[in-house]
Amino acid sequence: MELQFYGAAARVTGTCHILRTREYTVLLDCGLIQGSAEEEALNREPFPFDPSAIDAVVLSHGHIDHSGRLPLLMKRGFRGPVYTQHATVDLLSVLLLDSASLAERDADFRRRHPANRRDRSVQPLYTREDALKAIGLLRGMEYLAEKEILPGVLLRFLDAGHILGSAVVELTLRERDQERVVVFSGDLGQYGGPVLRDPETPFRADVVLVESTYGDRLHREFKDTVDELGDIFRTACRECGNILIPAFSIGRSQELLYLFATYYDQWELEQWQVYLDSPMAIDAGRIYWDYPALLDEEALELRNNPSLLPPLRNLHFTDRVEASRKINDIRQGAIIIAGSGMCNGGRILHHLKHNIWRRECRVIITGYQAEGTLGRQLVSGDREVSIHGRSYRVEAGIHTVGGLSAHGDRSDLLRWLQGFSNKPDVYVVHGDSDAKISFRNIVEEQLHHNAVIPAAGDRVKLL
């Protein structure tokens, strides 16, 4: 019985780990690697294991860096079931098809505008047909329900509070009258965050894999974040510009609209036209309201009594390409929420091309930006960036608003670990090197756990 680390050990994205018993092999997540062109090219490399030897996949949640290589896994030989929370099944039915469409368009563009000989015959990483086949493998489960997914392998999901359907994975492995409990945090949300319920901690574990995206820092207090956003909106309004918000289509976009309605008067949003420019975010928003049992008390009350929430009369859903293009004719007074959240593709790139060089405009970064992405360049203060092969001077104001992150900070992660009744061994994954080292150290110093930062390929004997 062993655990082996692959994706998100050496980097943040591309989460992928394996659990092996004497008889069976279970894959924890199968995420897409995101970042620079060199890193994203790694998605085309063979898996460091035989996909056909995987008996089952367990998915923590729907974000593409945890689920995005599922169609590729299936394409290369996997035929087993994929277990995840019910809401994630619905979200992946949208997300994987969108990811496949992007892959097909990217391959078509490279064939028509080849940068090298290989581009002339490049094929998409996977197609919509592949995505549909992968969606057919999904099996939904309720939170807290226990299921024996393979003989001697029991699975339970707890709420991770990150996005709708996000789960803490608890796997109980039984072999020769012995038992080991392995817990995988997936991505953990903030305690007291908007819309979703707080993260839950299993009672006990022998081994814990915990994310560390913000393990080296604390988010601003939520009240300060609300005040900061109000200041940004008022300043941008006085300067007669637009505001661009790159946002993940699942999770962040829905929370932003919720906050826009909640603070409509305080942020003086009646002076703006708000555009949700993401077909996937529009579809995901409908799915969010279909799962009232997964919402926190405040969001549930507002869902059941919409009159408590000011209507966003100035909200426009632009799912069609033609409507998206028309937004670029607007010179002032537009708040544009568009994907992708790291500015490494999607409609936000077109809006950046029309606004990033304008001093009167603003870009609000609300989530983690991986190394090598355009979003990370903006956060890092680069004064010139390349978009679709052309250089643009960065003159717009760039604002990083960490208090809206769907990831918990150091305090949240420690609070989650403190929920265990025993002292499991802790393996720190899913973070930049500095974040992982900082969080590993504080787990050892404050909680007195044995904490390890595994390298890709490392194996841990469980029995």
What would the pLDDT profile of 313-348 be if each residue is shown by its tens digit? 899 999 899 999 999 999 999 999 998 889 988 899
Residue 164: predicted pLDDT:
95
Residue 330: predicted pLDDT:
96
Tell me the C-alpha distance between 317 and 203, whole Å: 43
> Do 326 and 183 share a domain, yes or no?
no
Q: Are 170 and 151 in contact (CB under 8 A)?
A: no
Confidence at 311, pLDDT banded by 50, 70, 90: low
> Do 243 and 290 share a domain, yes or no?
yes
Residue 176: predicted pLDDT:
86
Residue 310: predicted pLDDT:
61
> Do 440 and 318 share a domain, yes or no?
no
> Do 400 and 410 share a domain, yes or no?
no
Residue 13: predicted pLDDT:
87
Confidence at 308, pLDDT banded by 50, 70, 90: low
- For residue 40, the domain's CATH number is 3.60.15.10
How far is the first Cα of the chain from the last one, in angstroms, to the nearest whole number? 5
pLDDT digits (tens, 9 = 90+) for 111-139: 998 888 888 999 999 999 999 999 999 99
- Domain closes at, from 384, 404, 424: 404
Residue 8: predicted pLDDT:
67
For residue 230, pLDDT beyond 70:
yes
Q: Are 41 and 378 in contact (CB under 8 A)?
A: no
> Do 197 and 346 share a domain, yes or no?
no
Average pLDDT for 400-413: 92
Comparing 247-251, 361-365, 404-408, 456-460, which segment has the lowest mean pLDDT?
247-251
Residue 289: predicted pLDDT:
87
pLDDT digits (tens, 9 = 90+) for 68-106: 999 999 999 999 999 999 999 999 999 999 999 989 988
Residue 110: predicted pLDDT:
86
Confidence at 298, pLDDT banded by 50, 70, 90: confident
> Do 261 and 400 share a domain, yes or no?
yes
Average pLDDT for 273-278: 95
Q: Which residue has the tokens 């277990």?
A: 83
Q: CA–CA distance from 166 to each of 17, 59, 61, 185, 193 (Å)?
A: 17, 9, 4, 10, 14
Of the chain, the percentage scoring pLDDT greater than 90 comes to 78
> Do 235 and 131 share a domain, yes or no?
no
Confidence at 189, pLDDT banded by 50, 70, 90: very high
> Token digits for 432?
């930049």
Query: Could you list the residue range(s) of the whole structural domain that residue 252 is in?
Result: 222-404
Q: Which pTM value belongs to this model?
A: 0.92
> Do 306 and 391 share a domain, yes or no?
yes
Among 168, 155, 202, CA closest to 56: 155
- Mean pLDDT for the chain overall: 93
> Do 301 and 247 share a domain, yes or no?
yes
pLDDT digits (tens, 9 = 90+) for 34-69: 888 888 889 999 999 999 999 999 999 999 999 999
> Do 71 and 96 share a domain, yes or no?
yes
Tell me the C-alpha distance between 204 and 348, whole Å: 43
> Do 397 and 416 share a domain, yes or no?
no
For residue 147, pLDDT beyond 80:
yes
- Count how many domains the chain has: 2
- For residue 328, the domain's CATH number is 3.40.50.10890
Residue 404: predicted pLDDT:
85
Mapping DSSP onto H, E and C, the string for the chain reads: CEEEEEECCCCCCCCEEEEECCCCEEEECCCCCCCCHHHHHHHHCCCCCCHHHCCEEECCCCCHHHHCCHHHHHHCCCCCCEEEEHHHHHHHHHHHHHHHHHHHHHHHHHHHCCCCCHHHHCCCCCCHHHHHHHHCCEEEECCCCEEEEECCEEEEEEECCCCCCCEEEEEEEEECCEEEEEEECCCCCCCCCCCECCCCCCCCCCEEEEECCECCCCCCCHHHHHHHHHHHHHHHHHCCCCEEEECCCCCHHHHHHHHHHHCCCCCCHHHCEEEEECHHHHHHHHHHHCCHHHECHHHHHHHHCHHHCCCCCCEEECCCHHHHHHHCCCCCCEEEEECCCCCCCCCHHHHHHHHCCCCCCEEEECCCCCCCCHHHHHHCCCCEEEECCEEEECCCEEEECHHHCCCCEHHHHHHHHHCCCCCCEEEEECCCHHHHHHHHHHHHHHHCCCEECCCCCCEEECC
Question: Which string of b and e fits 121-142 if b means at least 16 CB within 10 Å?
Answer: ebebbbbbebbebbbebbbebe
Bond preceding residue 212 cis, omega within 30 of 0: no
Residue 7: predicted pLDDT:
79
Which amino acid does the sequence have at 396? A
Of the chain, the percentage scoring pLDDT greater than 70 comes to 98
Radius of gyration for the chain, computed over Cα atoms and rounded to the nearest angstrom? 22
Q: CA–CA distance from 240 to each of 243, 358, 361, 395 (Å)?
A: 10, 11, 8, 14
> Do 364 and 411 share a domain, yes or no?
no
Residue 346: predicted pLDDT:
87
